[in-house]
Structure 1
């Protein structure tokens, strides 16, 4: 059966872009399940197995998030210079080493050192490289593509983290750590080198699967320069708002397992994490569709309000009666806010310096995300989880207030890349055309045989518009006796 050429040209680019998206989905699932969501499981294991106080285990999580945020900033620079697959490879190796070394932790300085290594690996293989790939391969469908890829984060929490929780509870973290490390490293390496490509142009394509001609495959990509973007009011206020909002969110996520365990039991703790991740899956898909139709500023502000409500419910929960709705409400906001941050920056500043802009934004945001677990842990040890969760709910409200002053992005890069206007010249009307009797436009001959200049005829022409004045011709003169001398 013959396939029309137009159909064949459209189908192959479409397939290639979604293959890359599938690879990004897989990498996000592995890194979130074993590293990000896994921090809550590791915190509980370190408290029970090694006797660390809650605040000390929370400090380990803070070191993990802080080091990953700092490396996320430098990862943006590395991605701008090198193939993103090599960056992911190095991150997978370092992250696997950190995960395995958790089995050797016995003292506070070992905890800090291992979490530092683990965080460095996560920063090199986490959100900065994966979201960069999505922004490079998708433009018109970017919000939907990023919502699909980010669903891998939640699937990791549902499938991997819940399984880890039950396995570690049945045995120990010491027994399972190196086994998890092997799965972590091998899975990321396989997904990276089998499915991912750094740029669409590497396989002769443009974003959204359009075929690239030789003239269209340029190294120039749209975007605001990094130095200009980070000085805008929009970037500054968005960053401060997300620092506060994500700090409260991450603090709640990493203490949810311990909170549910202390109030209901270990089985409820694993179920709560799985429910949190599952809710974020459904909500993130809906959020990706909504982001293409609803202004992202309005959508993100509404989700910050939803997050605050979820934190308040968890603060008051003593059994499943309030814990269940609290987890569902927090999960609805959690996945979408994490997805909207890169979408907001990519929409505002373009793709050109996106890795550096998002890396720097993540570095700022990590100050909130890294201090959140430590802050909640200290308040829990000194007072209670109830006061801790009510306090971070108040912090989220402050973040919403700051974010509301960000205004709208300028998007200078859109105007800079607009094509120059085409010069249209309208033909002269019949009344404006030269009439018979006017000398021809070729060289004229004078009575003495000397060549004369071409008759002047000028008309003002406006770009993309009509004639501004009628053609002007020299006045006619009386006939003369003309002669042509032989050369």
Structure 2
């Protein structure tokens, strides 16, 4: 046994490395583009719609790549794919800052999107899942919390660094740090598997029981059969609906609460929503029973967000206490939209199918939510506001309706004995 394995269970080292990867991946690939939109509009004078289309191209390229992520991991290995993704995301982000014409922006967006796919939700699951079975809910919760921390750290860091260094230099410095960090982690952490270190999932001894009964009992599905499987269709559909509602509302939430709270408190509210996401995900990991019906838990999480949308709706954009209530309730479910689908897949599909199910679920969700900000923006323009500038009843009603549709889709896919 290697010295690394002799020092203890290596799985928790992988979790913290995946946590760091999530900070970098979401910090550049998810929280960066909205800030770049403002900077490029101010410095280039290009139309917002054009730049927003570049962001959509970024997400769509990522969706296409993440659908094939299990094949890439199987062929090239986690280390090589992670390193290549870090390079692509870093170089793509620098390309955003150097684009002198719209066509150059779109090329940079496609490159960054391809890199973001290898550092997102499906990648985190692929890194952590081989090391945990019983402890997967807690391990994934810790790793996915890096996505939320990425928003807390990277959003203000992008703003401050661009102000201090300028757009090209800021992207170059941050990209270099991210590439170096992930290059080292890929070589020293992600290159190892339980088998290579003579370890078992959860750090169990050799005679310990394997996976939970539900995962063991499921039969592997042929590639074409997955698309006909009701469990997969409903899981992917519900996830896509939840991400669409969540991303659309988040894209407009700041501008909707500024009239009542002011810019400073509205910024604090957005940070509180992110902190609520960490809290909701961590609490769920701590209290969720091992044999719980994870579809019901996901439906309950969406229901909390529906109540949050109701609070926004009742606030009419002018009642601060209802707005803060909405932020808290909506925020509690933000992290679970990405966190729970891999755990549902773990209990409903055979182990060889889980990476493919998670990757395709993430890909379909990303392909749909790429259009959410624009769709919600068109809704705000098409339908009149309510009693004040922050009152957008159609936006909150649409969010609640889509979340309810996600709940129904999840419940339709439950197995008969559930």
Asked if these proteins are the same fold (TM beyond 0.5), I'd say: yes
Cα gap change, 1:382 to 1:55, in 2 (>3 Å): farther
1:240-268 deviation per Cα after TM superposition (whole angstroms, max 9, x unaligned): 12211111112223344555567755544
RMSD: 3.0
- Counterpart mapping for 1:355-394 below 5 A: 355-383=355-383, 386=392, 387-394=394-401
Superposition deviation, residue 52 in structure 1: 4.5
Q: 1:299 aligns with which of 297, 300, 303?
A: 297
- Equivalent residue, structure 2, for 1:251: 248
- Equivalent residue, structure 2, for 1:450: none
Structure 1 CA distance for aligned equivalents of residues 276 and 186 of structure 2: 28
Structure 2 CA distance for aligned equivalents of residues 382 and 179 of structure 1: 41
- Equivalent residue, structure 1, for 2:75: 81
- 8 Å CA contact 1:40–1:255 kept in 2: the answer is no
Structure 1 CA distance for aligned equivalents of residues 397 and 230 of structure 2: 30
Q: 1:281 aligns with which of 278, 282, 289?
A: 278
Q: 1:30 aligns with which of 24, 29, 40?
A: 24
Q: 2:184 aligns with which of 179, 183, 190?
A: 190
1:367-389 deviation per Cα after TM superposition (whole angstroms, max 9, x unaligned): 32212122123334545672334
- 8 Å CA contact 2:141–2:282 kept in 1: the answer is yes
Superposition deviation, residue 122 in structure 1: 0.3
Q: 2:170 aligns with which of 159, 166, 176?
A: 176
- Equivalent residue, structure 2, for 1:433: none
Matched, 1:395 2:402: yes
The structure whose residues are more often helix, as a share, is 2
Q: TM-score, normalised by structure 1?
A: 0.73
- Equivalent residue, structure 2, for 1:161: 155
Cα gap change, 1:312 to 1:180, in 2 (>3 Å): farther
Q: 2:56 aligns with which of 43, 49, 62?
A: 62
Q: Choose 1 or 2 for highest CA Rg.
A: 1
Q: What secondary structure sits across from 1:188 in the alignment? A: helix
- Equivalent residue, structure 1, for 2:307: 309
Superposition deviation, residue 319 in structure 1: 7.1
- Equivalent residue, structure 2, for 1:141: 135
Structure 1, unmatched stretches of 5+, are 1-8, 412-487
- Equivalent residue, structure 2, for 1:236: 233
- Equivalent residue, structure 2, for 1:468: none
- 8 Å CA contact 1:201–1:212 kept in 2: the answer is no
1:66-111 deviation per Cα after TM superposition (whole angstroms, max 9, x unaligned): 2111110111211123311111000000000111112124554333
Q: 2:145 aligns with which of 127, 143, 151?
A: 151
Structure 1 CA distance for aligned equivalents of residues 368 and 165 of structure 2: 33
Q: What secondary structure sits across from 1:354 in the alignment? A: helix
Structure 2 CA distance for aligned equivalents of residues 360 and 296 of structure 1: 19
- Equivalent residue, structure 2, for 1:350: 350
- 8 Å CA contact 2:249–2:395 kept in 1: the answer is no
Q: TM-score, normalised by structure 2?
A: 0.84
- Equivalent residue, structure 2, for 1:480: none
Superposition deviation, residue 23 in structure 1: 0.8
- 8 Å CA contact 2:276–2:332 kept in 1: the answer is yes
1:281-332 deviation per Cα after TM superposition (whole angstroms, max 9, x unaligned): 1111111123335421111001111222333444643475444333222220
Aligned residues: 396
Structure 2 CA distance for aligned equivalents of residues 357 and 133 of structure 1: 15
Matched, 1:121 2:110: no
Superposition deviation, residue 186 in structure 1: 1.6
Cα gap change, 1:61 to 1:166, in 2 (>3 Å): same
Q: 2:268 aligns with which of 267, 271, 279?
A: 271
Q: 2:197 aligns with which of 198, 203, 216?
A: 203
- 8 Å CA contact 1:63–1:116 kept in 2: the answer is yes
